[in-house]
Structures are given as structure tokens and as C-alpha cells.
């Protein structure tokens, strides 16, 4: 799985004529070792713990490459933080977000996807991606 993603990035880099650098390798390693939905700052701290010399501009730059390569996706929550989540080509999930404790539950629903395709087709659109976020209160925060 991790090996697969590294291969994807490597192929992407080749295709774009990008160089393989220690920094990119490390940032990818650390990113792949994290849980879902990490912010740039969080990732930067983890990367810096592994190699003090890495600047945060590089982390910003590299995350954008991951998005381009299809390995990650930006998600913007209502708290103004931009986060990145892991993504495997062709697979994705939507989010159920608790506004009380900010916890995130992921789900997939093929019926919704199908309806989305119908709607898009009705407007002549070709869908590339989508984002569905449901905001509410989880069982623990309802009280």
C-alpha cells in the first residue's frame, strides 16, 4: 500500500521531469505514516522531528505535488484549517463532521455518487471530483 503510493509518486515525478530529493522522500514517508486529515503545520512538525533541516515552505510545496499526483486531497473544514488527507486513485470517501468535537467519520455511498453523476450529466458537466461534508453533532456531543 505504502510501496504502491511511493511508486505512484515516483512515476508522477518522472512524468513531470521532477527530481527525486531526500526531502520529498522523507515528507512522503511521514505523510504516509500519518492518520487522515493532517494540517500542513502538523506535518511540518513531524517532518522536522525526523530531519531538523527541512523548511516548511518545502512541506507546502511538496503537499501540493501530492495533490497533483493524486495521492492527497485538500479538505477545508469550517474552522478555517486546510488539511490534507490520503487518497488512492479512484477511491474516495465523504465526511461526517461533528461540530462539537471536530471528529470526522468517513463514509462512502454509491447511491449518492450515482445521483451526482445524473445531476452532472443533466447540466452537461464531466465530473472530476466532488466533496460532500455533513455537519452535525455526534452521539457524545448531543447531550
Catalog residues that contact a second copy under the rule CB under 8 A: 74, 76, 78, 96, 98-99, 105, 107, 109, 111-112, 115-116, 119-120, 123-139, 142
SS3 83: strand
CA distance 65 to 71: 9
53 touches DNA by CB under 7 A: yes
We find the least distance from the C-beta atom of residue 5 to DNA, in angstroms, to be 17
Per CB under 7 A, the list member of 41, 68, 106, 133 interacting with DNA is 41
Strand partners, 96: 105, 134
Give 13's contacts (C-beta < 8 A, 6+ positions apart): 19, 20, 24, 69
Closest CA to 112 of 136, 137, 95, 89: 95
Interacting partner of 22 out of a second copy, DNA, none (Cβ under 5 to 8 A depending on kind):
DNA
Per CB under 7 A, the list member of 2, 7, 11, 64 interacting with DNA is 64
CA-angle at 65, arms to 63 and 68, nearest 5°: 115
15 touches DNA by CB under 7 A: no
19 touches DNA by CB under 7 A: yes
Interface residues with DNA (CB under 7 A)? Answer: 13, 17-24, 39-41, 53-58, 60-62, 64, 80-82
Amino acid at each position: 500500500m505504502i510501496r504502491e503510493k511511493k511508486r505512484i509518486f515516483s512515476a508522477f515525478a518522472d512524468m513531470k521531469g521532477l527530481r527525486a530529493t531526500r526531502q520529498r522522500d522523507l515528507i512522503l514517508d511521514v505523510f504516509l505514516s500519518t492518520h487522515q486529515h493532517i494540517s500542513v503545520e502538523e506535518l511540518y512538525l513531524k517532518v522536522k522531528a525526523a530531519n531538523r533541516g527541512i523548511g516548511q515552505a518545502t512541506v507546502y510545496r511538496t503537499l501540493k505535488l501530492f495533490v497533483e499526483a493524486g495521492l492527497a486531497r485538500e479538505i477545508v473544514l469550517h474552522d478555517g484549517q486546510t488539511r490534507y488527507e490520503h487518497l488512492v486513485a479512484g477511491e474516495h470517501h465523504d465526511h461526517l463532521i461533528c461540530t462539537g468535537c471536530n471528529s470526522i467519520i468517513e463514509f462512502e455511498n454509491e447511491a449518492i455518487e450515482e445521483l451526482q453523476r445524473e445531476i452532472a450529466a443533466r447540466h452537461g458537466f464531466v465530473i472530476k471530483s466532488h466533496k460532500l461534508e455533513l455537519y452535525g453533532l455526534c452521539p457524545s456531543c448531543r447531550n
